């Protein structure tokens, strides 16, 4: 099992770094949002403040290093670099699936990054489907204890599992099991997709089951059906996966749908899935996101050093600040409430 986990996790990283793993003709939908330039912003660029909160902790910017990897030698170095950079820049950071942490003694160090990120929000991660394969509240509690995490997020990936050669396909009757986990744990439990999106209907069911925050993880970035197609040895699955190369709900549509369904409850919405720039982040924040998750954007730098990751983070932060300067928004609240935005050609300034 050790060798199998290591091989799969390493293959995932290599494919995301070296191959075309984005959906075909699929975007985040954020290109339909544009900002209305403010020639008289009436603010000092130096006063722009990106500070926010997530999981009852302050963060220096509304950003999350999204769940990517763990359980291999290569993953250990990547997660260490990500954790060090996140701590320095004040970003939240999430682990890849921690199932391997419980199933294998090998490469446990790849998940034990709290020592590198002692103060920022840290999120552990487990596939929701594993609740049908012998995992439950006690396993989740053990993962939180081992990692020192502030939260655990359950990821939902039915299409990935359907294409993956080793996929777990029993997604039946998960909601009551999720409710038991949420009730039993002392830390917040989140929910995320892996790049095909969560809509408002599903988000409301998850919230009613006790989920504390929703990471929409919409389409427009990495497609895990594409990743699994590339590593599959099953010619039938490889051929079938081609029919799903543009599957998923665009990230923009996910944010709007989830925020609308949960408009009366203070549920943080994380926007991940194809996020590449600080301008993307600004767009997502104006339509209802609270935290923006970046994954593959940081991956190449994370194979190099924590300094390289920080340089990429600094660029994203600068892009967000420049966007805010361009519309005269000094704080996150100013950005979220701005009317200097046009959505699908409809200017909020006209309202």
pLDDT band, very low/low/confident/very high, at 185 (cuts 50, 70, 90) = very high
Return the pLDDT at 14.
Answer: 87
Nearest one of 285, 275, 272, 278 to 315, comparing CA atoms: 278
Which pLDDT value is given to residue 8? 82
- Give the span between the Cα atoms of 270 and 267, in whole angstroms: 10
Average pLDDT score over the chain: 95
Residue 168's nearest CA partner among 190, 139, 199, 135 is 135
Give the CB-side neighbour count of residue 307, counting CA atoms within 13 A: 0
Binding residues: 8-9, 66-69, 97-99, 125, 160-161, 192, 222, 274-276, 295-296
Residue 5 has pLDDT above 70, yes or no: no
pLDDT at 158: 97
Structural contact between residues 36 and 340, judged by C-beta atoms closer than 8 angstroms: yes
Residue ranges of the annotated binding site for substrate are: 8-9, 97-99, 160
The kind and range of the H/E element at 178 are helix 174-184
* Cα(292)–Cα(278) distance, integer angstroms: 9
Burial class (CB in 10 A: 0-12, 13-18, 19+), 248: buried
Q: What integer pLDDT is reported at residue 2 of this predicted model?
A: 53
Would you say the C-alpha torsion 344, 334, 282, 52 has a positive or negative sign?
A: negative
Which are the contacts of 283, defined by CB distance < 8 A and separation ≥ 6?
A: 30, 33, 35, 252, 341
Task: Answer yes or no: are the C-beta atoms of 99 and 127 closer than 8 Å.
Answer: yes
What proportion of the chain, given as a percentage, has pLDDT over 70?
Answer: 98
SS3 197: coil
Q: Tell me the residue range of the domain where 38 lies.
A: 1-347
pLDDT tops 80 at residue 6:
no
Q: What is the pLDDT of residues 191-210, one digit of tens each?
A: 999 999 999 999 999 999 99
pLDDT at 4 over 80: no
Provide the annotated binding site for Mg(2+): 161
CATH of the domain at 309: 3.20.20.70
What pLDDT was estimated at residue 348? Answer: 78
- pLDDT reported for residue 44: 98
Alpha-carbon distance of 127 to 135, in angstroms, equals 10
The CB-side HSE value for 32 (13 A sphere, CA atoms) comes to 12
Binding residues for FMN: 66-69, 97, 125, 192, 222, 274-276, 295-296
**Total tally of structural domains belonging to the chain:** 1
The answer to whether 252 and 259 have CB atoms below 8 angstroms apart is no
Identify the CA nearest to 127 among candidates 155, 150, 101, 147. 155
Position 105 scores a pLDDT of 82
Which pTM value belongs to this model? 0.96
């Amino acid at each position: 099992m050790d060798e199998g986990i290591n091989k799969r996790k390493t293959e995932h990283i290599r494919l995301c770094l070296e191959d075309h793993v984005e959906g075909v003709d699929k975007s985040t939908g954020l290109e339909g949002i544009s900002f209305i330039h403010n020639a008289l912003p009436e603010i000092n660029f130096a006063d722009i403040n990106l500070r926010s909160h997530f999981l009852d902790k302050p963060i220096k910017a509304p950003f999350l290093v999204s769940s990517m990897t763990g359980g291999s030698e290569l993953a250990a170095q990547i997660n260490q670099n990500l954790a060090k950079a996140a701590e320095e820049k004040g970003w939240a950071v999430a682990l890849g699936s921690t199932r391997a942490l419980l199933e294998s003694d090998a490469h446990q160090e790849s998940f034990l990054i709290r020592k590198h990120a002692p103060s920022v929000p840290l999120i552990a991660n487990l596939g929701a489907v594993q609740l049908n394969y012998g995992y439950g509240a006690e396993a989740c509690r053990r993962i939180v204890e081992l990692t020192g995490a502030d939260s655990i997020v359950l990821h939902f990936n039915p299409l990935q599992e359907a294409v993956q050669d080793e996929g777990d396909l029993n997604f039946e009757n998960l909601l009551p099991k999720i409710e038991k986990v949420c009730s039993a744990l002392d830390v917040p439990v989140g929910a995320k997709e892996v790049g095909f999106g969560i809509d408002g209907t599903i988000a409301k069911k998850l919230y009613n089951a006790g989920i504390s925050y929703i990471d929409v993880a919409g389409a427009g970035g990495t497609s895990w059906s594409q990743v699994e197609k590339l590593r599959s040895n099953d010619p039938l699955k490889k051929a079938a996966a081609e029919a799903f190369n543009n599957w998923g709900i665009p990230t923009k549509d996910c944010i709007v749908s989830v925020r609308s369904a949960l408009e009366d409850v203070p549920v943080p919405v994380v926007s991940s899935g194809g996020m590449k720039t600080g301008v993307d982040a600004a767009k997502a924040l104006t339509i209802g996101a609270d935290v923006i998750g970046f994954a593959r954007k940081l991956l190449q730098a994370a194979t190099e050093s924590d300094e390289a990751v920080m340089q990429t983070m600094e660029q994203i932060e600068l892009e967000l600040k420049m966007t805010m300067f361009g519309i005269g928004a000094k704080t996150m609240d100013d950005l979220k409430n701005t009317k200097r935005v046009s959505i699908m050609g409809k200017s909020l300034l006209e309202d």
